[in-house]
């Protein structure tokens, strides 16, 4: 690692640890993970007692490469975006995610004061985060941290998450072509549900892993 890389990693570590401290004060079980591998190990350990595991479609979770490991352990994986599913099958999986044993997701933004901000098109991912699953683990790469307020967090999502996600999902939105949000009124608009989780939801075992690596969008 070069000196520059070391200093960058150290600076990110301070932000990550600040977020972990704030999330802890807000009632979440929050952990600092120096690497994606350490987050992966934590998830695989926590998943030991879960049978049905839901995925919110998060690239952060894909980046951790936990899916194949869980599949090889014989877990039931509730993944709604695999090719070949009919719309009825897809909807059934989305509904089952709401009551699974363990739900794995990312978060579009997390403020250093410990709030999770998400914007969804359907709302399944955001809903499964705060009520329903027995346990929720949220994976947050350092690129998701926002040193600002809720409006800054929403701006991060509109600037850095929604446009590439619309492109990834092949949606016909202005941002999928330009990379910039124009607050569209497109039928394909993916920004329809905005949630702010600013304290641990009372009945949900919710854990937040703040990882000192870039994960997801
Ligand atoms: S409001 Fe429309 S243009 Fe803006 S990010 Fe969402 S989908 Fe893209």
Separation of CA 165 and ligand 1 centre (Å)? 10
Q: What is the pLDDT of residue 158?
A: 97
**Distance (Å, rounded) from C-alpha 198 to C-alpha 153?**
12
pLDDT per position as a tens digit, 107-118: 999 999 999 999
pLDDT of residue 217: 95
- Domain-located, residue 103: yes
Residue 147 lies inside a defined structural domain of this protein: yes
Q: How far apart are CA 76 and CA 115, in angstroms?
A: 30
Helix/strand/coil for 174: helix
How far apart are alpha carbons 119 and 34 in whole angstroms?
A: 27
Q: Using the atom order of ligand 1, give the atom closest to the CA of residue 186.
A: 2
Domain-embedded: residue 185:
yes
Residue 183 lies in a domain: yes
pLDDT at site 37: 97
Report how many domains make up the chain. 1
Q: Which residues line ligand 1 (CB under 6 A)?
A: 158, 162-163, 166, 173-175, 181-184, 186, 189-191
Is 103:136 a contact under the CB 8 Å cutoff? yes
Q: Output the residue whose Cα is nearest ligand 1's atom 6.
A: 191
Domain assignment present for residue 217? The answer is no
Is residue 113 in a domain? yes
**pTM of the complete model beyond 0.85:** yes
- Report the SS3 class of residue 165: helix
pLDDT of res. 44: 97
Atom 2 in ligand 1: which residue has the minimum CA distance?
Answer: 184
- Ligand 1 mean position, distance from CA 39 (Å): 31
pLDDT tens digits along 81-108: 999 999 999 999 999 999 999 999 999 9
DSSP 42-105: HHHHHGGG-SEEEE---HHHHHHT-HHHHHHTTPEEE-TT-TT--HHHHHHHHHHHTT-SEEEE
pLDDT along the chain (217 residues), means of 10: 94 98 98 98 97 96 95 96 95 98 98 98 96 98 98 98 96 98 98 98 98 97
Q: What is the pLDDT of residue 24?
A: 98
Range of the domain at 75: 3-211
Continuous segment of H or E residues that includes residue 195: strand 193-197
Pocket test for ligand 1, best of 189, 192, 194, 217 (most atoms within 8 A of CB): 189
State the closest ligand 1 atom to the C-alpha of 190, by its place in the atom list counted from 1: 7
* Residue 76 belongs to domain with CATH number: 3.40.50.10420
Residue nearest atom 5 in ligand 1 by C-alpha distance: 181
Question: Is residue 9 one of the residues assigned to a domain?
Answer: yes
Residue 46 covered by a domain: yes
């Amino acid at each position: 690692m070069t000196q520059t890389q070391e200093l960058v990693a150290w600076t990110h570590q301070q932000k990550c640890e600040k977020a972990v401290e704030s999330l802890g004060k807000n009632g979440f079980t929050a952990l600092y993970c120096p690497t994606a591998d350490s987050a992966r190990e934590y998830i695989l350990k926590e998943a030991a007692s879960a049978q049905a595991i839901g995925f919110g479609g998060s690239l952060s979770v894909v980046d951790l490469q936990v899916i194949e490991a869980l599949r090889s352990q014989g877990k039931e994986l509730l993944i709604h975006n695999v090719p070949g599913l009919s719309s009825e099958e897809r909807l059934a999986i989305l509904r089952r995610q709401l009551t699974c044993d363990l739900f794995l997701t990312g978060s579009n933004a997390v403020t250093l004061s410990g709030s999770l901000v998400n914007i969804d098109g359907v709302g399944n991912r955001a809903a499964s985060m705060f009520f329903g699953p027995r346990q929720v683990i949220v994976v947050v790469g350092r690129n998701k941290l926002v040193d600002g307020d809720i409006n800054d967090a929403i701006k991060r999502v509109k600037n850095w998450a929604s446009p590439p996600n619309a492109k990834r999902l092949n949606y016909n939105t202005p941002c999928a072509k330009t990379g910039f949000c124009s607050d569209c009124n497109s039928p394909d608009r993916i920004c329809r549900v905005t949630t702010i989780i600013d304290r641990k939801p009372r009945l949900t075992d919710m854990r937040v892993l703040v990882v000192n690596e870039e994960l997801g969008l």
